[in-house]
Structure 1
Amino acid sequence: MSSASAKKLNLKTVAALLNVSVATVSNAFNRPDQLSPELRQKILQQCAELGYDGPNAAARSLRTGKSGIIAILLSDSLEYSVSDPVANQLIKGVAEVIQEQGMDLLLLSSRHNTACSSAEALPDGFILYGAPSNHEQLQRILKSGKPLISVDCNLPGVAAVNVDNYAAARQIASHALAQKNGAVAVLGLRLIDSERVCRIQPDELYGTEQSISRRRLDGYLAAADKHGRQIPAQSVWHIPLNTHHFAQVAAREALTQFPRPQVLLCMSDRIALAAMTVARELGIAIPQDLVVVGFDGIEEAERFYPSLTTIAQHSDEKGRTAARRLLAGDLQTDLLMPSELMQRQSC
């Protein structure tokens, strides 16, 4: 068949050519569980021979009001998000549920600064991962009236799936502080609005923000107060991005100051693993000279030597839960999911 003819193919014409129903062709592409594997394979092979690649999502959306697509709106860039192990776990969890329903997944970034994107009009619903940085984009999505749920952030009027970051941070900090009596340092993540690694100022130690990082810092401070310990602002580092490079810069500064900290509270596993690498280079023994704790529960934390004590927040299950609630229309209440203290060699 010529390419010109192939372009005219649609569900109806293909179904007529194959002498099957429109629903059969549609199910072969979108709902494979509705057909036997043999019939589905036969339909797909015949479609390929005809030059038909499947139903057009935009056309299907216009015809039925549904595209069969769910979008994750990422707070960071696409490049960063797909390389970040925590975001990766969440995307994996969402994808599992979406795939089970025969739907497709679209990744959008709130860092994409176009005035308006046609991709925003396509999804049937949105999962917001992290606080969106593009306010105008968020307002367009809110005005669309499409189902919406957030993960790892809280927005007025939007159902959220989170862990209790304050309680989890307080728990792991208390565990670490019970091991060592020396100085304490915090390697924080996105505590202030700065693109460089730096220590925070005294007036920045406490804040009214409800961001994840602030909740974790408040948990650390509460644990320190309970143990009669001090965490001054000069011992709290701001790391702008959860990358190995930035974490190493902060860790090297923290571990070469005097007095050297004996307790290192890290707001992510990636930060903690980078800090442990720096400690090894400096000849600091873990956990004999320094105890280190992380937060996230990524796979590498368990494989690393010494293995990392951390809070497992099960991001893949958060993704699955958010996706199931979105598809079920369970969008009236917030949900706090359990986290777990994983005690390992580093503390």
Structure 2
Amino acid sequence: MSTGLPQAKLKKQNLKTVAAELGVSVATVSNAFNRADQLSPELRLKILAQCEVLGYSGPNAAARSLRTGKSGIIAILLSDTLEYSVSDPVANQLIKGVAEVLQHQGRDLLLLSGTHNSRSSSAEAVPDGFILYGAPNNPEQLERILRQQKPMITVDCNVEDLPSVNIDNFSSAKHIALHAFGVMPGKIAVLGLRLIESDRVCRIQPDELYRSEQAISRRRLEGYLAAAKEVDRELPAEAVWHIPVNQHEQALMAAREALQQAVRPSVLLCMSDRIALAAMMVARELGIDIPSELVVVGFDGIEEGERFYPALTTIQQYSAEKGRLAASRLLAGELSGDVELHCDLVIRQSC
């Protein structure tokens, strides 16, 4: 395609010099890159082709951000590491939901880890707004971001004066526990997640539990305890295991301890589907039949739970929808009030 422009003109260009070179306004060149609807398709393609010959790839994003005060970027501030968050199926679905909305709105996504120990990061100043996913692990980082006074919404946690998108972890946990208790009598065990401040797999003591009413794990445990009390079943502290990270290897360790007790549990309440699937693998290794000798329930509704045999009974939470709703509210400026999404009990073969 011939542009009629000399091929030698490859000096560094900016919006103003390119417009002069092409004999059009600065706004016309800018619209060709940023607002396609403002130009005819033919004119836009012609300008883009001419810009390519001149070696101009578009308005400088950093300069535009300084000029307008907007970057077009929304950040998810993660409570976990980047590596964990992109590999965890629940976090992955949340990120996917956010990304769908941002892409539709012509925005970009930035992932920030809340586990960094650095005192500051230049990336924190870039986004136009933040989605805080999970309970903050770095109070200093959160305070720095709050001081920017940019739009922010929380998911799966609560921060004072910020809007939130959550599920009812207490009621959902109680619901699935009551179902399990109705299916199988006998001893109960809980494979919990992040119940105490420890990096080792262990049983918990009553005085070790988090006191925070915001912790998801605490709400789920309280749901299990309320269900046990309602049907007059015992669920003592020594029947509860703490798993520091929602990972397969640590879940295997806890499940082996729980299922190799002298008096083995017949009901296993697991705070995530990943933990439940690991527990069922251990049961298979030990020759424990599910569901005739042991019933297992999970929480989250990841796809692997449906494909596993026996298929996992679980609480289906809609993580992608949480992400879509959080992003939509943030972009629409709906920055007050809390929204609680519905979850479903999905009954399958494991219970």
**TM-score range, shorter-chain basis?**
over 0.9
Matches of 1:315 and 1:216, distance apart in 2: 17
**How many residue pairs were aligned?**
345
1:189 aligned partner:
193
Mark the CA change 1:99 to 1:33 in structure 2 (over 3 Å): closer, same or farther: farther
Matches of 1:45 and 1:94, distance apart in 2: 33
Matches of 1:172 and 1:263, distance apart in 2: 11
2:97 aligned partner:
93
- The counterpart of 1:242, out of the listed 240, 243, 246, is 246
Offset of residue 123 of structure 1: 0.4
Matches of 1:185 and 1:41, distance apart in 2: 65
- The counterpart of 2:11, out of the listed 5, 10, 17, is 5
Matches of 2:100 and 2:284, distance apart in 1: 38
1:264 aligned partner:
268
Mark the CA change 1:303 to 1:16 in structure 2 (over 3 Å): closer, same or farther: farther
Matching of residue 176 in structure 1 with residue 180 in structure 2: yes
The code of the aligned residue for 2:147 comes to K
Matches of 2:343 and 2:38, distance apart in 1: 37
Matches of 2:319 and 2:42, distance apart in 1: 36
Mark the CA change 1:296 to 1:19 in structure 2 (over 3 Å): closer, same or farther: farther
Offset of residue 5 of structure 1: 2.7
Identical aligned residues as a percent? 71
- The counterpart of 1:128, out of the listed 132, 147, 158, is 132
Mark the CA change 1:44 to 1:180 in structure 2 (over 3 Å): closer, same or farther: farther
Offset of residue 54 of structure 1: 3.6
Q: Which sections of structure 2, spanning at least 5 residues, go unmatched? A: 1-6
Offset of residue 14 of structure 1: 4.0
1:117 aligned partner:
121
Mark the CA change 1:231 to 1:22 in structure 2 (over 3 Å): closer, same or farther: farther
SS in 2 for 1:321: helix
Mark the CA change 1:285 to 1:321 in structure 2 (over 3 Å): closer, same or farther: same
- The counterpart of 1:71, out of the listed 71, 75, 89, is 75
1:255 aligned partner:
259
The code of the aligned residue for 2:172 comes to A
2:302 aligned partner:
298
**Relative to structure 2, which stretch is displaced further, 46-55 or 242-251?**
46-55
- The counterpart of 1:324, out of the listed 325, 328, 332, is 328
**Relative to structure 2, which stretch is displaced further, 63-72 or 14-23?**
14-23
Matches of 2:153 and 2:338, distance apart in 1: 9
SS in 2 for 1:287: coil
Matches of 2:260 and 2:10, distance apart in 1: 69
Offset of residue 64 of structure 1: 0.4
1:97-148 CA-partner distances (Å, limit 9, x unpaired) = 0010111000001112211111111100000000111111101111101000
Mark the CA change 1:43 to 1:70 in structure 2 (over 3 Å): closer, same or farther: farther
Mark the CA change 1:96 to 1:208 in structure 2 (over 3 Å): closer, same or farther: closer
- The structure having more radius of gyration, on CA atoms, is 2
Mark the CA change 1:330 to 1:241 in structure 2 (over 3 Å): closer, same or farther: same
Mark the CA change 1:53 to 1:107 in structure 2 (over 3 Å): closer, same or farther: farther
- For the Cα contact (< 8 Å) 1:58–1:122, is it kept in 2? no
Mark the CA change 1:246 to 1:39 in structure 2 (over 3 Å): closer, same or farther: farther
SS in 2 for 1:111: coil
- The counterpart of 1:138, out of the listed 139, 142, 152, is 142
**TM-score normalised by structure 1 residue count:** 0.92
- For the Cα contact (< 8 Å) 1:124–1:147, is it kept in 2? yes
Offset of residue 87 of structure 1: 0.6
Matches of 1:37 and 1:263, distance apart in 2: 64
Mark the CA change 1:207 to 1:230 in structure 2 (over 3 Å): closer, same or farther: farther
Offset of residue 32 of structure 1: 6.0
Mark the CA change 1:35 to 1:72 in structure 2 (over 3 Å): closer, same or farther: farther
1:149 aligned partner:
153
The code of the aligned residue for 1:115 comes to R
The code of the aligned residue for 2:154 comes to S
1:61 aligned partner:
65
TM-align CA RMSD = 2.3
1:285 aligned partner:
289
Matches of 1:77 and 1:206, distance apart in 2: 21
Mark the CA change 1:346 to 1:334 in structure 2 (over 3 Å): closer, same or farther: same
Mark the CA change 1:237 to 1:337 in structure 2 (over 3 Å): closer, same or farther: same
Offset of residue 70 of structure 1: 0.3
1:103 aligned partner:
107
- For the Cα contact (< 8 Å) 2:268–2:296, is it kept in 1? yes
Matches of 1:216 and 1:126, distance apart in 2: 26
2:213 aligned partner:
209
1:29-66 CA-partner distances (Å, limit 9, x unpaired) = 55667777777666655544444444433222100011
